[in-house]
Structure 1
Amino acid sequence: MSLTLDSYRLLGRSGLRVSPLALGTATFGTEWGWGAGPDEARQLLDLYVSHGGNFIDTAGTYTDGSAERLLGEFTRTHRESLVLATKYSTLRRPGDPNSGGPHRKSLFASVEASLRRLNTDYIDLLYLHVWDFTTPVEEILRGLDDLVRQGKVLYVAMSNVPAWQVSRMQAIADLRGWSPLIALQIEYSLIERTGERDLIPMARELGLGVVPYSPLGGGVLTGKYGRDDLAGPSPDPRESSDGPPRKTVNLALGNLTERSLGIADAVKDVAAELGHTPGQVALAWTLRRPGVTSPVLGARTLAQLQDNLGALGVELPATQTAHLDEASATTLGFPHDMLAGEHMRTVTHGDLAIDTRR
Structure 2
Amino acid sequence: MSLDHYVTLGRSGLRVSPFCLGAMTFGEDLGWGSSVKDSEAILDRYIELGGNFIDTANLYTKGHSEKIIGDHLGHDREKRDRLVIATKFSGNLYVGDPNGGGSSRKSIVAACEQSLRRLRTDYIDLYWLHNWDKFTPIEETMAALHDLVRSGKVRYIGVSDTPAWKVAQAQLIAQFRGWAPFIGLQIEYSLLERTIEGELLPMAEELGLGVTPWSPLRSGVLSGKYTRQNGLKPEVRPWAANYLDEQSYVVIDELQRIAKELDTTVARVALAWVQARPTVTSTIIGARTLAQLDDNLKALDLKLTPAQTASLDALTKPKLNFPADFLELARMIQAGGTTINGQPSQLIPFGVTKKGDHY
TM-score (norm 1): 0.90
- Whether the 8 Å CA contact 1:222–1:264 is kept in 2: the answer is no
Task: Give the distance between the partners of 1:143 and 1:47, measured in 2 at CA.
Answer: 36
| Pairing of 1:98-113 with structure 2 (within 5 A) | 98-113=99-114
Q: Which residue of 2 aligns with 1:313?
A: 301
Taking structure 1 as reference, are residues 347 and 325 closer, same or farther at Cα in structure 2, changes over 3 Å only?
Answer: closer
Q: Which residue of 1 aligns with 2:12?
A: 14
Q: Which residue of 1 aligns with 2:3?
A: 5
Task: Give the distance between the partners of 1:228 and 1:346, measured in 2 at CA.
Answer: 43
Q: Which residue of 2 aligns with 1:56?
A: 54
Q: Which residue of 1 aligns with 2:72?
A: 74
- Whether the 8 Å CA contact 1:223–1:265 is kept in 2: the answer is no
Task: Give the distance between the partners of 2:333 and 2:287, measured in 1 at CA.
Answer: 50
Alignment partner of 2:237 out of 247, 250, 267: 247
| Pairing of 1:140-289 with structure 2 (within 5 A) | 140-227=141-228, 247-251=237-241, 254-289=242-277
- Whether the 8 Å CA contact 1:187–1:214 is kept in 2: the answer is yes
Q: Which residue of 1 aligns with 2:340?
A: none
Q: Which residue of 1 aligns with 2:129?
A: 128
Shift of 1:112: 0.4
Taking structure 1 as reference, are residues 228 and 141 closer, same or farther at Cα in structure 2, changes over 3 Å only?
Answer: same
Task: Give the distance between the partners of 1:347 and 1:318, measured in 2 at CA.
Answer: 27
Q: Which residue of 1 aligns with 2:323?
A: 335
Q: Which residue of 1 aligns with 2:331?
A: 345
Shift of 1:261: 2.1
Shift of 1:333: 2.6
- Whether the 8 Å CA contact 1:227–1:258 is kept in 2: the answer is no
**Of 255-264 and 165-174, the range deviating more from structure 2:** 255-264
Report the RMSD for the aligned CA atoms in angstroms: 1.7
Q: Which residue of 1 aligns with 2:286?
A: 298
**Of 256-265 and 203-212, the range deviating more from structure 2:** 256-265
Task: Give the distance between the partners of 2:55 and 2:303, measured in 1 at CA.
Answer: 25
Task: Give the distance between the partners of 1:310 and 1:303, measured in 2 at CA.
Answer: 11
Shift of 1:282: 0.5
Q: Which residue of 1 aligns with 2:44?
A: 46
Give the paired residue count: 336
Give the 3-state SS of the residue equivalent to 1:212 in structure 2. strand
- Whether the 8 Å CA contact 2:145–2:157 is kept in 1: the answer is yes
Taking structure 1 as reference, are residues 346 and 120 closer, same or farther at Cα in structure 2, changes over 3 Å only?
Answer: closer
- Whether the 8 Å CA contact 2:227–2:252 is kept in 1: the answer is no
Unaligned runs of at least 5 residues, structure 2: 337-343, 347-359
Task: Give the distance between the partners of 2:301 and 2:135, measured in 1 at CA.
Answer: 44
Kindly provide the CA deviation profile for residues 319-352 of structure 1, in whole angstroms up to 9, marking residues without a partner as x: 10111111111112311112112xx236545579
Q: Which residue of 1 aligns with 2:117?
A: 116
Kindly provide the CA deviation profile for residues 217-275 of structure 1, in whole angstroms up to 9, marking residues without a partner as x: 111112212347877xx96xxxxxxxxx6522323xx3322212221211111111111
Alignment partner of 1:26 out of 1, 24, 49: 24
Taking structure 1 as reference, are residues 322 and 305 closer, same or farther at Cα in structure 2, changes over 3 Å only?
Answer: same
Taking structure 1 as reference, are residues 307 and 116 closer, same or farther at Cα in structure 2, changes over 3 Å only?
Answer: same
Larger Rg: 1 or 2?
A: 2
More helix per residue: 1 or 2?
A: 1
**Residue identity in the other structure for 1:335:** P
Task: Give the distance between the partners of 1:258 and 1:74, measured in 2 at CA.
Answer: 43
Unaligned runs of at least 5 residues, structure 1: 236-244, 354-358
Task: Give the distance between the partners of 2:83 and 2:53, measured in 1 at CA.
Answer: 6
TM-score (norm 2): 0.90
Kindly provide the CA deviation profile for residues 139-180 of structure 1, in whole angstroms up to 9, marking residues without a partner as x: 000000000011000000100000000011111100000001
Shift of 1:14: 0.4
Query: More relative contact order in 1 or in 2 (CA 8 Å, sep 6+)?
Result: 1
- Whether the 8 Å CA contact 1:22–1:53 is kept in 2: the answer is yes
**Residue identity in the other structure for 1:223:** G
